[in-house]
């Protein structure tokens, strides 16, 4: 399984999308390996510096939220639906009304546990990456402590359900759409293979963590909200599948993971990607490129997990159904006149920039095609960010391989140009 621990960064794409019959040929540049090494060294220093700042801070706990102390059990996860706002025509603002694509800042404050969930997951991945590149057990110890605090400590562990996630004030006390909140837990699970190398990781820790995820997986499969989310046709359905398959593999239920991939995931694909590569359920949203990147990132995760069973999710598609390659090329063309920074919402902490660079790296690993190699290299070199550029550990190593081969052959350039031309 590929481990997806991300480095966050904003990036500016340099090519321009054209609708004419002969768009300008991509400017295929020679890669500067010296610059890459400087970027790489800077990124590693930044990771260690940021992770070091966490070593003396308390681990994040779901019970830390003073605004939610009125709950019967303060370990209960609560979040607010992010696109719902007070009704300006109502005296008390209730019930809230929907404004698709516009995040209500209230949902990212103390009225919700989602910010803490995100902080927890990002801390685990940052500390784990610092441990991976340095071997310093202080980082792994802190990562393990964060996992213990959120999942295992009887006093502070989150209860394994989402009965009160993405509630709408004045309408309900929870919704099935809240299941997507725990897509962040994927990052925790994907940190485990690295943390297993630490002296602070134990069989008992893994056993207890698997027990928590077994309970949560049972809730996903059998609860009313879980069953409703399973029927979702857009990115919610995709990330439901990612969670079910990922968590099933983690707890040792491989048979169920394969069953879900065959019976649910494969049938979902035919209704999401058109033969042109267009993700029609995402491109009609207010932030089409953001949702397309987010959804396709989930699909490539599913494809990677399916590879463990030698199962190709898009091997048999309908007449009007596209494949992952079609969706990737379509997305690249959609992004030609945009930078990923344009897709980021200061109130939406989904790190679309992070997802996009890893998506291109995963695409290159899957297809070994110059167009994906080219995009990954150019995006990595052109990024400027005061945080850290995030790559998965496996992508971190693969990026080094990319830069060891600094040139593109004439056939590579022709193929890249062809990919840019073959677009509707």
Q: Give CA angle at 1 (207, 379), nearest 5°.
A: 130
Q: Does the pLDDT of residue 38 top 90, yes or no?
A: no
Q: Is the peptide bond before 95 cis (omega within 30 degrees of 0)?
A: yes
Chain segment 296-349, per-residue pLDDT in tens: 999 999 999 999 999 999 986 677 889 999 999 999 988 888 877 788 777 788
Q: Does the pLDDT of residue 107 top 80, yes or no?
A: yes
What CA dihedral angle connects 139, 141, 145 and 148, to 10 degrees?
A: 120
- The reported pLDDT for the residue numbered 295 is 98
Contact 165, 82 (CB under 8 A): no
pLDDT band at residue 423, thresholds of 50, 70 and 90? very low
- The reported pLDDT for the residue numbered 341 is 75
Chain segment 113-151, per-residue pLDDT in tens: 999 999 999 999 999 989 988 999 999 999 999 999 999
Among positive and negative, which fits the CA dihedral 240, 269, 273, 391?
A: positive
Contact 213, 251 (CB under 8 A): yes
Comparing CA positions, the residue from 337, 315, 327, 215 lying closest to residue 262 is: 315
Long-range contacts of 34-38 (CB under 8 A, 24+ apart): 35/381, 36/380, 36/381, 36/403
- The reported pLDDT for the residue numbered 24 is 41
Structural domains for the chain: 1-45+338-424 (no CATH), 54-231 (1.50.10.100), 233-334 (no CATH)
Comparing CA positions, the residue from 343, 420, 416, 341 lying closest to residue 386 is: 341
Q: Does the pLDDT of residue 169 top 50, yes or no?
A: yes
In angstroms, the CA 373 to CA 404 distance is: 12
Among positive and negative, which fits the CA dihedral 249, 187, 160, 207?
A: positive
Chain segment 86-104, per-residue pLDDT in tens: 999 999 999 999 998 888 9
Chain segment 391-415, per-residue pLDDT in tens: 665 666 566 566 655 556 667 766 7
Contact 189, 242 (CB under 8 A): no
What CA dihedral angle connects 319, 320, 321 and 326, to 10 degrees?
A: 110
Contact 21, 359 (CB under 8 A): no
* From 3-17, 40-54, 307-321, the region with the lowest mean pLDDT: 3-17
């Amino acid at each position: 399984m590929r481990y997806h621990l991300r480095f966050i960064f904003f990036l500016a794409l340099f090519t321009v999308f054209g609708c004419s019959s002969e768009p300008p040929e991509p400017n295929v540049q020679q890669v500067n390996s010296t610059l890459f090494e400087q970027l790489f060294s800077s990124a590693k220093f930044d990771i260690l510096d940021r992770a070091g700042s966490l070593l003396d801070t308390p681990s994040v706990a779901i019970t830390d939220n003073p605004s939610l102390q009125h709950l019967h059990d303060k370990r209960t996860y609560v979040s607010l639906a992010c696109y719902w706002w007070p009704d300006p025509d109502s005296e008390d603002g209730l019930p809230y009304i929907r404004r698709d694509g516009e995040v209500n800042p209230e949902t990212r404050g103390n009225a919700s546990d989602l910010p803490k969930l995100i902080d927890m997951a990002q801390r685990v991945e940052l500390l784990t990456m610092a441990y991976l590149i340095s071997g310093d057990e202080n980082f792994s110890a802190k990562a393990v402590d964060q996992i213990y605090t959120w999942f295992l400590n009887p006093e502070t562990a989150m209860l394994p359900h989402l009965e009160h996630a993405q509630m709408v004030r004045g309408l309900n006390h929870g919704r099935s759409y809240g299941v997507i909140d725990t897509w962040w837990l994927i990052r925790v699970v994907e940190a485990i293979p690295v943390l297993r190398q630490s002296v602070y990781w134990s069989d008992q820790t893994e056993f207890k963590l698997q027990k928590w995820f077994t309970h949560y997986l049972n809730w996903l499969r059998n609860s009313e909200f879980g069953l409703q989310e399973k029927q979702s046709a857009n990115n919610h359905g995709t990330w439901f599948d990612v969670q079910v398959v990922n968590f099933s593999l983690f707890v040792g239920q491989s048979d169920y993971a394969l069953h879900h991939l065959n019976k649910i995931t494969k049938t979902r694909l035919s209704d999401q990607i058109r033969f042109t590569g267009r993700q029609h359920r995402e491109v009609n949203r207010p932030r089409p490129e953001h949702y397309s990147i987010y959804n396709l990132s989930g699909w490539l995760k599913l494809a990677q997990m399916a590879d463990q069973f030698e199962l190709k999710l898009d091997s048999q598609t309908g007449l009007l159904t596209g494949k992952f390659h079609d969706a990737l090329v379509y997305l690249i063309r959609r992004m030609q006149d945009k930078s990923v920074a344009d897709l980021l919402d200061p109130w939406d902490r989904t790190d679309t920039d992070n997802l996009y660079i890893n998506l291109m790296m995963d695409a290159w690993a899957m297809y070994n095609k110059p167009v994906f190699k080219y995009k990954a290299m150019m995006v990595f070199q052109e990024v400027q960010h005061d945080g850290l550029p995030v790559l998965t550990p496996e992508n971190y190593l693969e990026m080094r391989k990319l830069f060891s081969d600094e040139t593109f052959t004439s056939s590579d350039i022709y193929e890249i140009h062809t990919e840019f031309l073959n677009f509707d």
